[in-house]
Structure 1
């Protein structure tokens, strides 16, 4: 998968957390994921469909990470994984996909994005593509979270008739 596809997600989540939660996060080396188990306790999943590529994005937070981010964004202490945490996961998924979509559009990639699905507990992450899943691990002062991106070239109708 091209770095062109990955970097907009890194840039966007760092911008969101800096501006909305007054916090920074670092990211580790991306790696390939070989199963569909969530890496965090709450996950947002959104389909991405474009002219030349299709796939999906997931962002998965440890309980401590989403509690800390929720606390920072709401200005009150959140001590358990509650409805405000899951609602914020959906909002962060939307913000991440929208921001990355804008950056990808500026680089010549056009995407439509659907409404995010929220997953908790033992739910499986079923990406909307058969592409390899790239995971970008992040760490923050509140805990770890992970962005998963699965994008693949879309079969072109002309190629099917050749």
Structure 2
């Protein structure tokens, strides 16, 4: 998988997180996942079609999702991952998808991105039909959000 397919999502993540919670993210150690992998308790999936086809999955644990939702809601403490917190995290996925779409357009890639879908629960398994997925852990303060990109 080419880095140019991954960078728009990383730039979008960094841009959105920077604008929403005024914190800079950093890239962790990138690695490859193959086949079905367990994911965090909170998962956002984004489908990609057009010149590139595949999916992008953002996953995190529930504490990270509550922390992000709290930051997105101007510091209102989120103690339960309820519908309002889920809505905030889903909107985070929507903003990242929209920003990345713009970056792809600027590169001359014609793609369509599906509206993000939010899943929550224990033992969520994600299967990338492209078989190999590049996982990019993004660190924000002391939290990690994994961005799994499977495009071709």
TM (norm. structure 2) is 0.89
CA contact (8 A) 1:65 1:142 kept: no
Counterparts of 1:142 and 1:83, CA distance in 2: 24
Counterpart position of 1:97: 97
Displacement after TM superposition at 1:131 (Å): 4.5
Counterpart position of 1:125: 126
Q: Is the aligned partner of 1:149 residue 2:149?
A: yes
CA contact (8 A) 1:54 1:151 kept: yes
Q: Which has the higher strand share?
A: 2
CA contact (8 A) 2:33 2:133 kept: yes
Counterparts of 2:99 and 2:58, CA distance in 1: 14
Gap regions ≥5 residues in structure 2: none
Counterparts of 2:131 and 2:94, CA distance in 1: 22
CA contact (8 A) 2:34 2:131 kept: no
CA RMSD of aligned residues (A): 1.7
Q: Is the aligned partner of 1:6 residue 2:6?
A: yes
Task: List 4+ stretches of structure 1 deviating above 6 A.
Answer: none
Q: Which has the larger radius of gyration?
A: 1
TM (norm. structure 1) is 0.84
